């Protein structure tokens, strides 16, 4: 959101949230916004329609500096969590699929290696992943184990010094374009993470087609059929679900910000459209019912942005808890869906056209509300924290 030059009131930054950001944070946001405006916005409707995403995009995002940007060392930028959140917000203001590419690369695949990998694994993989030369994916979900990853059937067993992995992963972002897959598997020692280069015999990643959401994003199945990897392919520092769940904390945090970005684009589109569209002899912006909708949408966008910023400040202070991330993910994605659906109606028939960004965001948000923990899962995390009673099982 832009700030009025004279320091006066700017309805695009209704609550003057810009004032709460540092110069550096505003600069990073401006850089990412400019990339999205030039490189994503003019093309993303076509990418969505044709269900493609340019193969060179990871390298361009690497050049922009957003891949693993909140991690330290190994070619990563080492920014604050808040700056990373602002980048996610701008990327998802363009399209959830582009933010997903960045989340999966930086918060899931790179973070898994950065947090749980050996020094050799970090040196080998992270610099190329930060530049986008090497694409990663993160395989946790299975056909019969999504919300309950503890029910995974993928297994890894030792064979001499090697490991043999058998199983299937489902709905894996970047799967078919990845050079390395972080695959979580059950072992006799607990859940462990394996770094599987995509050329490994027995590993295939067929793309999932016919999606009507997140079309500007590659989603795949991972098939592991007797995949043999050496001992140094296992992430040495974790052998429990804590490994993958710690990565989810990072990606969910980015979604808290991203959802606010998608909602902002829908609001801005609806405000513009309502001002231009005439019905019954006057702009629909001049009707009470549309103003009420716009006011509600603006409230949700501002509230979501403030919540994201608050969680960002907590994360930078080292105080952000998973339950708080759940509240942010649940609240902001639900708010964004509400804003997108309302915007879609304000645009009338144009609301179903890819000539406008709204239906694309609305459909994408149907994935965002499901992945990284469904709304139900996050409600149960919050409910468990409130009551002290765990209701999953
Ligand atoms: P539970 O028994 O509670 O815990 C098992 C172990 O994990 C630890 N733990 C956590 N650690 C770090 N962060 C968290 N948020 C954690 N939650 C739990 C826990 O301390 C324990 O550790 P240890 O060492 O004692 O073994 O686990 P549970 O089986 O009851 O499950 C809890 C539940 C349901 C909350 C969890 O399974 C869950 O979050 N389910 C949702 C799964 C999910 O979100 N999958 C997402 C897949 S990735 C994806 O969607 C990418 S989308 C692309 C994009 O991001 O753009
Ligand atoms: P299920 O777990 O089968 O849930 C079905 C329904 O039951 C949901 O409404 C759920 O809320 C509800 N439910 C489940 N448990 C309970 C309960 N205890 N109480 C009440 N209700 C409950 N996964 C990855 O590992 N890596 C990726 O990169 C990745 N990318 C994705 C990209 C896209 C586009 C999509 C759509 C998904 C992606 N996922 C990925 C998978 C995603 O994380 C899962 O879809 C999600 O965790 C939900 O699992 P599920 O689809 O199996 O639904």
pLDDT digits (tens, 9 = 90+) for 328-373: 999 999 999 999 999 999 999 999 999 999 999 999 999 999 999 9
Instruction: Note the pLDDT of residue 157.
Output: 98
Q: Which CATH number fits domain 136-239: 3.90.440.10, 1.10.10.10, 2.40.110.10, 3.40.50.150?
A: 2.40.110.10
Instruction: Note the pLDDT of residue 161.
Output: 96
pLDDT in tens, 239-274: 999 999 999 999 999 999 999 999 999 999 999 999
Ligand nearest to the CA of 220: 2
**DSSP alpha helices (H): ranges in the chain?**
23-35, 44-50, 57-64, 81-94, 96-102, 111-116, 119-131, 242-276, 288-316, 322-346, 358-368, 375-387
Instruction: Note the pLDDT of residue 325.
Output: 99
* Residue of 108, 146, 150, 393 best suited for mutating to test ligand 2, as the one with most atoms within 8 Å of CB: 146
Instruction: Note the pLDDT of residue 142.
Output: 99
- For ligand 1, atom 49: residue with the closest CA: 372
Name 162's Cβ contacts closer than 8 Å, sequence gap at least 6.
Answer: 228, 229, 230, 231
The pair phi, psi for residue 352, each rounded to 5°, is -100, 5
pLDDT in tens, 155-213: 999 999 999 999 999 999 999 999 999 999 999 999 999 999 999 999 999 999 999 99
**Cα separation, 313 vs 329, whole angstroms:** 16
Q: What share of the chain is helix, strand, coil (3-state, %, to 5)?
A: 55, 15, 30
Instruction: Note the pLDDT of residue 360.
Output: 98
Instruction: Note the pLDDT of residue 5.
Output: 55
Does ligand 1 come within 6 angstroms of the Cβ of 250?
no
The ranges assigned to domains in the chain are: 11-131, 136-239, 243-387
Fold observed for domain 243-387: Butyryl-CoA Dehydrogenase, subunit A; domain 3 (1.20.140)
Does ligand 1 come within 6 angstroms of the Cβ of 379?
no
Catalytic residue, candidates 90, 221, 268, 372: 372
Instruction: Note the pLDDT of residue 8.
Output: 85
Q: Is 246 left (phi over 0), alpha (psi -120 to 50) or beta?
A: alpha
Does ligand 1 come within 6 angstroms of the Cβ of 269?
no
**Cα separation, 305 vs 289, whole angstroms:** 25
Q: Which CATH number fits domain 11-131: 1.10.150.120, 1.10.540.10, 1.10.3720.10, 2.30.29.30?
A: 1.10.540.10
Q: Is the pLDDT of residue 103 over 80?
A: yes
């Amino acid at each position: 959101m832009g700030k009025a030059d004279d320091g006066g009131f700017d309805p695009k930054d209704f609550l003057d949230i810009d004032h709460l950001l540092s110069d550096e944070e505003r600069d990073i946001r401006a850089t990412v916004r400019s990339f999205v405006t030039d490189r994503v916005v003019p093309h993303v409707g076509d990418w969505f329609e044709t269900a493609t995403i340019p193969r060179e995009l990871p390298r361009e995002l690497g050049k922009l500096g957003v891949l693993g940007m909140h991690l330290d060392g190994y070619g990563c930028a080492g920014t604050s969590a808040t700056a990373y959140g602002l980048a996610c917000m701008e990327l998802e203001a363009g399209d959830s699929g582009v933010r997903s590419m960045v989340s999966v690369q930086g918060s899931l695949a790179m973070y898994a290696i950065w947090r749980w990998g050996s020094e050799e694994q970090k040196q080998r993989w992270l610099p190329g992943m930060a530049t986008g030369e090497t694409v990663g994916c993160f395989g946790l979900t299975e056909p019969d184990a999504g919300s309950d990853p503890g029910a995974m059937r993928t297994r890894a067993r030792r064979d001499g010094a090697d490991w043999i992995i058998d199983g299937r992963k489902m709905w894996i972002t970047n799967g078919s374009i990845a050079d390395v897959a972080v695959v979580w598997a059950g072992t006799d020692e607990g859940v462990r993470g394996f770094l599987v280069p995509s050329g490994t015999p027995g590993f295939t990643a067929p793309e999932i087609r016919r999606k009507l959401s997140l079309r500007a994003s590659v989603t795949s199945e991972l098939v592991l059929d007797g995949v043999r990897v050496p001992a140094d392919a296992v992430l040495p520092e974790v052998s429990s679900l804590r490994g993958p769940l710690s990565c989810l904390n990072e990606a969910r945090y980015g979604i808290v910000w991203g959802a606010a970005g998608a909602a902002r684009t829908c609001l801005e589109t609806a405000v513009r459209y309502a001002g231009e569209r005439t019905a019954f002899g006057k702009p629909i912006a001049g009707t009470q019912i549309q103003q009420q909708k716009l006011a509600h949408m603006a409230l949700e966008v501002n509230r979501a942005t403030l919540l994201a910023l608050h969680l960002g400040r907590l994360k930078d202070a080292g105080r952000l808890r998973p339950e708080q991330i759940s509240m942010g993910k649940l609240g902001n994605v639900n708010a964004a869906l509400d804003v997108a659906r309302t915007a879609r109606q304000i645009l009338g028939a144009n609301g179903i056209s890819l000539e406008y960004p709204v239906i694309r965001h609305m459909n994408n948000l149907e994935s965002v509300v499901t992945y990284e923990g469904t709304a139900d899962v996050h409600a149960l995390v919050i409910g468990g924290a409130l009551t002290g009673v765990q209701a999953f099982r």
